[in-house]
Amino acid sequence: MDEQTAKNQKENGTRKSLNKQDSLVLKIVLIAFLILLSFIPMSMIRGLINEREMTADAAAQEVQQKWSKSQTLIGPILTIPYFYQNEKGENKKGYINYLPEQLNITGDVNTQELKRGLYEIIVYNSTLEITGTFSARDLKESNLFPNDKLIEGATINLGISDLRGINEQISLEWDNRKLNFTPGVDPHSLVVSGISSKITPQQLFANDSIVHFTIKLKLKGSESIQFTPLGRTTKVAIRSNCQTPSFNGAFLPTEREVSPEGFTSKWEVLEFNRNYSQILKESPYRATTNAYRDITDDNLGFQYTNYAITESTFGVDLLFPVDQYQKSTRSAKYAFLIIILTFVVSFFVEIFQKKNIHPVQYLLVGLALCLFYTLLVSTSEHIGFTPAYIISALMTTLLITFYMIGILKIKKTALTIGGLLACLYAYIFFLIQLETYALLVGSIGLFVILAIIMYFSQKINWYNNQ
């Protein structure tokens, strides 16, 4: 009888042990399923972030469309007609484009903010002075003399990418003579948008060696301002009140200074730094509808293209540092880490504190963690990313902490969970501020977290051994 009772007790103990083991495995599988289930709202939230970013971009484009888009200055370029013989010996009319000997651009670019709904868009007003020279040496080397008919119809062309940005009449001083610009450019020049002025033979050759020019213009635009180094020597000096410039293009400034009051920058580019010459001859057989016009020198037998000219542009982006969407996207990429760690900590609490947490309660905690990102995106549009992150993290942490107090009935444990969640949010915030060392710090952090989980997991009696 005693042996039978002992045998039954042993079987009951084994059965209970197996039931506990099965229950533990089932709980882990269920938690893993709930983690995967939480990724569904997270994918929707990532879509929401992308949608809000697209809305902000659309608002910026709408303002830029009405104000003026980014500006690119090309020129001035001197375009002169000439005659040449084709392969059949027939006289044909072509056009030759001369680039300046010296090109100097100085000016002030003052930015201002325009609002479109929730969004702030940076636009600018600029006051520019373009000075320089054309060399008569280049004209003589082109064999255009002495027939004056070859130079009738010469034009000086200034490329401006968005003509809506012109604020007032533009003056041209050509060798101490005042000339007027008209809208549009010579169709045979290297630019497709801008203004031009006719140059007579007397004006062109008034000086046997050097022709001086000065162009003053007030130009408005948005996002960026770009320049093209067409001179044998090109010098650009810009001053602005923008505190967050981003220098870009084919050449960086040789000098720059950025301060809370704005920035100053200087560029100097030589003709050897770019891949086109000072004299470009145009073929009459090119397609005029192509925005990137092919310019062929029939005498030399090779092509130039103004795509090479646009490739040599340089300048500065004048942007407001609106990065809340990029940072929100980076933050959302760590959502899996926060959800997994919160669920793992809750699971350990169940094991060590002998408390039961229902799967529905796990699911509600997961939804609260997902809602953090909707709070972050919506509030960052009004107050900026950093305050929005602090507020959203604080609200989410308090919500989950008080919820855990109600579930566990142990205030100390619930506060510990809340503290760990707050530290995790602080760690993620620190990570998304980093750029160069983000991967290194993130890898070390994950290693430490995994080590902590492994340490606590070894204390669990997975097989319920007595």
Task: Report the chain's mean pLDDT, rounded to a whole number.
Answer: 79
Q: Are residues 409 and 427 in the same domain?
A: yes
pLDDT digit string, tens, across residues 218-250? 999 888 899 999 999 999 999 998 888 889 888
Residue 86 lies in a domain: yes
Question: Which pLDDT score, from 0 to 100, does residue 361 have?
Answer: 86
Total number of domains constituting the chain:
2
Query: 185-189, 359-363, 386-390: which range is least confident on average?
Result: 185-189
Residue 281 lies in a domain: yes
pLDDT digit string, tens, across residues 329-344? 888 888 888 888 888 8
The DSSP secondary-structure symbol of 320 reads -
Q: If you average pLDDT over residues 295-323, what whole number do you get?
A: 61
Q: Which two tokens stand for residue 123?
A: 């636009």
Residue 368 lies in a domain: yes
Question: Which pLDDT score, from 0 to 100, does residue 399 have?
Answer: 92
The Cα–Cα gap between 290 and 397 comes to 59
Q: If you average pLDDT over residues 294-320, what whole number do you get?
A: 60
Question: Which pLDDT score, from 0 to 100, does residue 300 have?
Answer: 32
User: Taking phi first (over 0 means left), then psi (-120 to 50 degrees means alpha), and beta for anything else, what does residue 117 get?
Assistant: left
Q: How confident is the model at residue 407 (pLDDT cuts 50, 70, 90)?
A: confident
Residue 379 lies in a domain: yes
Per-residue DSSP letters for 321-367? ---HHHHHHHHHTTHHHHHHHHHHHHHHHHHHHT----HHHHHHHHH
Q: Are residues 191 and 272 in the same domain?
A: yes
Q: What is the largest CA-CA distance in the chain?
A: 134
Question: Which pLDDT score, from 0 to 100, does residue 142 have?
Answer: 59
Residue 401 lies in a domain: yes
pLDDT digit string, tens, across residues 248-277? 888 999 999 988 888 999 999 998 888 888
Residue where a domain stops, chosen among 318, 351, 367: 318
Residue 428 lies in a domain: yes
Residue 91 lies in a domain: yes
Q: Are residues 80 and 48 in the same domain?
A: no
Residue 216 lies in a domain: yes
Assess whether pLDDT exceeds 80 at residue 315: yes
Question: Which pLDDT score, from 0 to 100, does residue 86 have?
Answer: 65
Q: Are residues 287 and 385 in the same domain?
A: no
Residue where a domain stops, chosen among 318, 353, 383: 318
pLDDT digit string, tens, across residues 421-457? 998 899 888 888 876 677 777 778 778 888 887 887 7
Question: Which pLDDT score, from 0 to 100, does residue 290 have?
Answer: 34
Domain span at 446: 12-59+324-457
Assess whether pLDDT exceeds 60 at residue 1: no
Q: Are residues 234 and 90 in the same domain?
A: yes
Residue where a domain stops, chosen among 318, 350, 371: 318
Q: Are residues 371 and 273 in the same domain?
A: no
Assess whether pLDDT exceeds 60 at residue 124: yes
